Chain A
Amino acid sequence: MRVFSSGEMVDYWVAQIRRGFAGVDVLRAVVFLVMLLGIADTLASGVVQRTRELGAARAVGVRRWYLQRMVLVEALVMGALWIRWTFPYLLGYVLDFHLPYMQLGLIGLMTALVCAIAAVLPARGAARLEPAVALRYE
């Protein structure tokens, strides 16, 4: 038999709960992977769907790097929306009610990084489109 002070009791249960929710970290990693693939897929299909528009933009006189930057900005906007929508979810697993500034900042940075990585291939695809080929795309 062991006697706990009230502080020790709280610490004990906090440790138990954290152990119980340890799987959530794995879930977070999976969520990031899904997000990475999802954003990359959305951007890539966006580039394919707008092939003619991108060709028209090049015919108007838009430089390649602008199209590359456009896709990157789209990815970052998607990331910002993702953070906005998942904000309540992020708060849900914090036992004390407070705004986890550090955590949010870290998640924001990671999201931006993930979006930028996801945007690399679609952005390169958009920039490398040959205008004459893009304009013939059906």
Chain B
Amino acid sequence: MTDTPAVVLERVSKSYGDAGHAVTALSDVSLQVPASQFLSIMGPSGSGKSTLLNLIAGLDTPTHGRVIVGGQELTHLSDDACSDLRLRHIGFVFQSFNLFPTFTAEENVAWPLGFVGLRWRAAKMRAAETLEQMGVDAAARSRLPAELSGGEQQRVAIARALVTEPRLVLADEPAGNLDSETGRSILGVLLQLNTQRRLTVIMVTTTHSRRRTGSEPSSCATAASCVTCMPIPNRATGARFPCTGSRHARPRPRPCSLATPPPAIPARTPASTPGDPATPAPTP
């Protein structure tokens, strides 16, 4: 296990447009996500959640600040190096699935493996295994995305994100286009990945989706005005809420100005005690 945080954002800002008509999507956001953490970022539309995810994935560059993923500062990486980082270390799951419509489910999952040097036959075998783990049945694997249900498409998309065995999974409203039942099962899959494979998962969701799916994210971030970032408590990893230091009680989101960086999420140290300086003091 490494102590390197999976993701570190240091005073990150992102603006779009010209200087005169600039729209600020993110302002001075600081965030630290330890490895094997499940972080859910929640907030209304237009609050900059997806922008935050894009910056972490290196799909966009910050106007100011530093983004560090797996110990590598993205602003220092070339475009190709950033692509390689995404290919090998980051899996991205979209709200609208973004599967390739002319590929079958299996081909969609096998395709990225070609870029890591696997031959097509071996890639298809590994894709079939990953799809099976995701609960996609054999008949669905040879179908085109248009012939699959929304839930199946999202499972295929998660399989595509996981097939290169990344350490970090970014999910942009993965249940946004699904009914509540299917959405719950997709969130269950992501939670399982976090607890069983110890993957770091950062999920973006809206308040509405959360209510609809009945999921249990205990963290939120609304980027433009305030931010509250908390990990989901994880009994297996001993992760604690930064505000309460508790693994059991669900804390109330504590909004704070983005002008001041939010408290860093404590590293997963099961031995740490409330008196430990690394652990924030519990709040009543």
B is bound to A: yes
Contact call A64/B112, Cβ cutoff below 8 A: no
Q: How far is the CA of A60 from the CA of B98 in the complex (A)?
A: 10
Contact call A64/B98, Cβ cutoff below 8 A: no
Q: How far is the CA of A58 from the CA of B84 in the complex (A)?
A: 10
Contact call A130/B60, Cβ cutoff below 8 A: yes
Contact call B92/A59, Cβ cutoff below 8 A: yes
Contact call B79/A64, Cβ cutoff below 8 A: yes
Contact call A58/B98, Cβ cutoff below 8 A: no
Q: Enumerate chain A residues within 8 angstroms of B80, measured Cβ to Cβ.
A: 63-64
Q: How far is the CA of A62 from the CA of B79 in the complex (A)?
A: 10
B160 interface residue (CB < 8 Å to A):
yes
Q: Enumerate chain B residues within 8 angstroms of A66, measured Cβ to Cβ.
A: 115
Contact call B59/A63, Cβ cutoff below 8 A: no
A132 interface residue (CB < 8 Å to B):
yes
A131 interface residue (CB < 8 Å to B):
yes
A53 interface residue (CB < 8 Å to B):
yes
Q: How far is the CA of A29 from the CA of B104 in the complex (A)?
A: 41
In the complex formed, the residue of B with least CB distance to A53 is B100
Contact call A60/B59, Cβ cutoff below 8 A: no
A35 interface residue (CB < 8 Å to B):
no
B74 CB to closest chain A CB (Å) equals: 13
Contact call A52/B98, Cβ cutoff below 8 A: yes
B66 interface residue (CB < 8 Å to A):
no
Contact call B100/A61, Cβ cutoff below 8 A: no
Q: How far is the CA of A52 from the CA of B94 in the complex (A)?
A: 11
Cβ < 8 Å to B, chain A residues 53-109:
53, 55-64, 66
Q: Which residues of B contact A (CB under 8 A)?
A: 51, 54, 57, 59-60, 79-80, 83-88, 90, 92, 94, 98-101, 111-112, 115, 160, 164
Additional A-B contacts beyond A62-B115, A63-B83 (17; CB < 8 A): A53-B98, A55-B98, A57-B100, A60-B87, A60-B92, A60-B112, A61-B83, A61-B84, A61-B85, A61-B90, A62-B83, A63-B79, A63-B84, A130-B60, A131-B60, A135-B94, A135-B98
